[in-house]
Amino acid sequence: MDLELRHLKIVRAVAEAGSVTKAATQLGLAQPSLTAQLKRIERTLGGTLFERDRNGARPTPLGELVLTRALVLLPAVRELQEDAVRFANTDEGIPGFRIGATHGPILGGLVARLTATRPGTPVSTRTSWSARELTTMVSAGRLDFTLVGTCGDSPPPAAEAMTWTTVGTDPVFVLLAQSHPLAGEKELDLAALATESWAVAPGDGCFADCFAGACARAGFVPKSIFESDVGTGMHLVKAGQAVALCQATFELSADLVMMPIAGAPLRWRHVLGWHTDSPAARTAGPIIDLARQAHADAVRRSSRYADWLAANPHFGRLL
């Protein structure tokens, strides 16, 4: 007997249910039938996959090996089936647009433009704080494009056969509570914040090192850092417990003030990546244009950023 996907589904079901009887119920099979199938699978693979007793079924070392492979193969095959269906039912000959992004101002505008310019083409998104995770997914064919950020001129995450292009570059500003003593200034020297605590979002890029380097050049080491989700970070800032760095396109909420940092010591570069040899690669040009339009809209929505750009007209120009 050759091993088939349905056999791997049986192994997964028994492991997840913890017993052959419960797995049979979940699969809609009679328990003797599932037991017989499991024995045939074990003969094919050359050993016992589960230790079974009155307490249930537990994977043997061989069972753990098979289960580990099954948990990779089964989702991959399901994804292949979904992609094939999308591929066969789109005029462009690609399975819609699957776009990943770290937190930033571009994704929403890009999706809106895609759905407007290509009605009927599926668009799905995935967000993560990990630029490496998203890049790996594109390289593996699980996403078509990803939008991530890099600090200054730092390269995006390394992965096989990736192509990257810059969508836009923003200065990094600082967020303060409206009640903060420095909130009335036009811009701040980074050194003026030497005694502050900082709220930061998680990430796996080099921004933490860039920030530490900028602080060192300004003559101080950050007092303390609160790593949290964005909502918690904003709460700390509003409460006066911390200040936070942000992209200059940040959309302000009540009780917050966004301040430029003198000399723009920190820059955030938005980059779009895709697999060089993927079907999606031939649509990269239009996607780049739409992403840049979305970024330009985000810039226009920030009056503080627009004023700063008027005084710094050459900042972030794409070459």
pLDDT value of residue 204: 79
pLDDT score recorded for residue 91: 46
Return d(Cα 165, Cα 295) in angstroms, integer: 14
The pLDDT assigned to 89 comes to: 47
Average pLDDT value for the chain: 88
Q: Give the C-alpha separation, 6 to 164, whole Å.
A: 39
pLDDT for 102 beyond 70: yes
In angstroms, the CA 242 to CA 195 distance is: 10
Contact (Cβ atoms closer than 8 angstroms) between residue 14 and residue 3: no
Residue 87 pLDDT: 57
Q: What is the pTM of this model?
A: 0.69
Q: How many residues can be counted in the chain?
A: 319
pLDDT of 142-164, one tens digit each?
A: 899 999 999 888 888 887 789 99
Dihedral sign for Cα 308, 309, 313, 317, please.
positive
CATH code of domain 5-88: 1.10.10.10
pLDDT per residue over 71-87, tens digit each? 888 888 877 776 665 55
Domain locations along the chain: 5-88, 95-313
- At 101, is the secondary structure helix, strand, or coil? strand
In this prediction, residues 166-185 reach a mean pLDDT of 93
Q: Which residue has the higher pLDDT, 284 or 4?
A: 284
* CATH architecture of the domain covering 95-313: 3-Layer(aba) Sandwich (3.40)
